[in-house]
Amino acid sequence: MKIIVLAGGLSPERDVSLTSGAGICRTLRAMGHQAFLMDVFFGFPYDADRLMEVFDLPGAGLEIADGIKTTAPDLDALKRSRPDQSDCMLGPNVIELCQMADITFMGLHGSIGEDGKLQATFDVLGIRYTGPSALGCSLSMNKLVAKQIFKMSDVPTPRGTSLTRKTKDTPLTELGYYLPLVIKPCASGSSIGVYIVHTEEEYTEAIRRSFEIDMEEEVVIEPYIKGREFACGIIAGKALPLVEIIPKSGFFNYENKYQDGGAQEICPPQSIDAATQQKIQKAGEKAFEALRMDVYSRADFIVDDEDGSFYCLEVNALPGMTPASLLPKAAKAAGLEYSALCQRIIDESYKARY
């Protein structure tokens, strides 16, 4: 198959996406596919009448992936570095090459790729792609909307509220929430801009910083739950084995997620019994269905240290596919090696839509 692996973009999760995309691209090529890695924002400038050659280029576009830094990328600097200085989120030849491909493998993370806009664009243009539909992506990307859907669908989730840019100066006493709290952007991922705050000073600073992430328009506020974190990968509506996450320090933030030794990840978990694991898996499947997801995703849970209650924090439409990512580890525990997982995602995408 001719496959464009789409990654990068103007997202705080750009480095993670490019690393995911590189792993996917290498694997697909090793399996015999004609795969090419392309940055959705920078595209691939090439002669229009020679675009079909791209699928056979020896470098496969892999030079654009150079690892994950300890901090999120400078998006303003990246935008200024684009030669054509266009405001379009799609770079040169992105649409043309995706139309030529048998399918586009979505290796994107964050706002461009997980908010449903690109999927909707591809639907209109008749471009085949992997992963959830535009609707599933848009519902899951907005953490407050997802929380409201969880409550209507009996998926346990922490209570929460939000602030917009117009209401961001509302005093904490008027919100009906009490410290400690979790502050996080409404539509971002990889724990970028997530803060656990214990004082009003920390709260004020966290609100300010969260609004700076990817031009965020809304910030979610939740009670802080001290507990253990678990990831529930889901393929075609069925949960994979859970992965327990034990950060080396603090919580499972951006650095702990992607740097070697940042966290211990145990699959299957050892700290909760089999019955609790099954309940969390069922809740993950219910969240998947409630958000109108298809193909695959990953639901993140926390189990309260005090009473053992568990809560769904969010669902990731396009979970990481890096060597350190949770979905590949869960898939491997279920008997799916990385190459088989990539092929399964393609196959399930065809079944869902094509």
pLDDT at position 262: 62
pLDDT at position 252: 44
β-pairing verdict for 238-239 and 296-304: unpaired
pLDDT at position 255: 52
Q: d(Cα 304, Cα 124) in Å, to the nearest integer?
A: 44
Burial of 123 (0-12, 13-18, 19+ CB in 10 A): middle
Q: d(Cα 255, Cα 262) in Å, to the nearest integer?
A: 7
pLDDT at position 303: 97
**What single-letter DSSP state applies at residue 241?**
P
Beta bridge pairs of residue 314: 300
Cα-Cα-Cα-Cα dihedral sign, residues 88, 93, 94, 98: positive
pLDDT at position 323: 75
β-pairing verdict for 218-223 and 227-235: unpaired
Q: What is the pTM of this model?
A: 0.91
pLDDT at position 250: 54
With H, G, I as helix, E, B as strand and everything else as coil, classify residue 139. Answer: helix
Q: d(Cα 294, Cα 354) in Å, to the nearest integer?
A: 13
As a 3-state breakdown, the chain gives helix, strand, coil percent values, each rounded to 5, of 40, 20, 40
Beta bridge pairs of residue 185: 219
Q: d(Cα 237, Cα 348) in Å, to the nearest integer?
A: 11
Tell me the domain boundaries of the chain: 2-129, 140-157+226-353, 161-223
CATH 3.40.190.10 fits 161-223, yes or no: no
E strand or H helix at 216:
none
**CA 346 → CA 25, 108, 236, distances in Å?**
13, 15, 12
pLDDT at position 62: 96
Contacts of 101 (CB under 8 A, 6+ apart): 1, 2, 3, 4, 55, 127, 128
Beta bridge pairs of residue 162: 220
C-beta separation of 245 from 193 below 8 A: no
CATH class of 140-157+226-353: alpha beta
pLDDT tens-place values along the chain, 354 residues long: 999 999 999 888 899 999 999 999 999 999 999 999 999 999 999 999 999 999 999 999 999 998 887 777 888 899 999 999 998 999 999 999 999 999 999 999 987 889 999 999 999 999 999 999 999 999 999 999 999 999 999 999 999 999 998 898 888 888 889 999 999 888 765 456 789 999 999 999 998 888 876 566 889 999 999 999 999 999 999 999 999 999 875 544 445 445 555 678 999 999 999 999 999 999 999 999 999 999 999 999 999 999 999 999 999 999 999 877 899 999 999 999 999 999 999 999 999 999
* Fold designation for 2-129: Rossmann fold (3.40.50)
Q: d(Cα 330, Cα 301) in Å, to the nearest integer?
A: 15
351, 246, 353, 344: which is closest to 24 by C-alpha? 344
Contacts of 67 (CB under 8 A, 6+ apart): 15, 19
The CB-side HSE value for 163 (13 A sphere, CA atoms) comes to: 24
CA 295 and chain centroid, separation:
14
Rounded to a whole number, what is the largest CA-CA distance in the chain?
A: 64
Give the dihedral of Cα atoms 159, 164, 166, 168; nearest 10 deg. 60
b/e per residue 4-21 (b: at least 16 CB within 10 A): bbbbbbbbbbbbbbbbbb
